[in-house]
Amino acid sequence: MTRPCLLPVLALICAACATTTTKAGSEVKVFGADPAVKETARALPEGCRLLESTAFFDQEEGERAVYDPYAKQRNEAAAKGGNVLLVFSQTIIRQPSDDCPPRSQTYDCRQASQTWYRVSFGYYSCTPQAVGLLESQAENAAEPKGPLFTWQLGSSHVAVNQMKAKILEMMKAGVGTDVIVAYVKGERLKQKLTANEIIDWKKAGIDDQVIQAALGS
């Protein structure tokens, strides 16, 4: 099974389309499970009621290289009255970037990776007791990723100079301001922009809307 080699700019645009998590969506807990594991081993505890499940689709690593890659599904779960999102994720093609160390989880390496996953979702409504049990099961899992684990939202924040470089790269490629703003909003800076950095970004030709989005990231 082969996949087309997507250009880096296309991967960036895809990542930039990340949805902003609503207030209700941010309350939805995210857990992951490997669909290859027996269903009995990854069953949710009593007190969890399935609201909806989705079909499987294929997803590239770069699409997951944002702070909250499943914000859309968290929002949908909340809108249906759910408070738990279960992400079924199975690696189907492992092809990390040749320019990165093995198992590197840095933003740039994940963006450059051509690893693919087969993914589907389950929206659940769980009692507080059941959520607590889920968290306990995930923390005590024998392996970091199975059979049930807590889905880690992106914790590696982006350095100011890295974000500036990505923005300039997208500008050079002709990516629109709205898309760049969406990309910036989907990232988290390690530190807030200083006054000197704002001036530097402005002199580099970065749009005020983009700078404003970075100030809020």
| CA atoms 41, 144, 149, 34: torsion sign | negative
Percent of the chain with pLDDT over 90: 41
Same domain, 41 and 121: yes
Q: Is position 3 within any domain?
A: no
Domain holding 110, by residue range, is: 8-150
Nearest to 108 by CA among 152, 149, 166, 151: 166
Is 11's pLDDT higher than 60?
A: no
- 135 with 126: CB under 8 angstroms? no
**What does the pLDDT look like over 166-204, one tens digit per residue?**
999 999 999 999 999 888 887 777 678 899 999 999 999
Q: What is the mean pLDDT of the chain?
A: 80
Q: Is position 89 within any domain?
A: yes
At residue 7, the pLDDT reads 32
93 vs 97, which has greater pLDDT? Answer: 93
Number of independent structural domains in the chain:
2
Instruction: Give the phi and the psi of residue 29 in degrees, each rounded to 5.
Output: -80, 140
Same domain, 143 and 165: no
Q: Is position 2 within any domain?
A: no
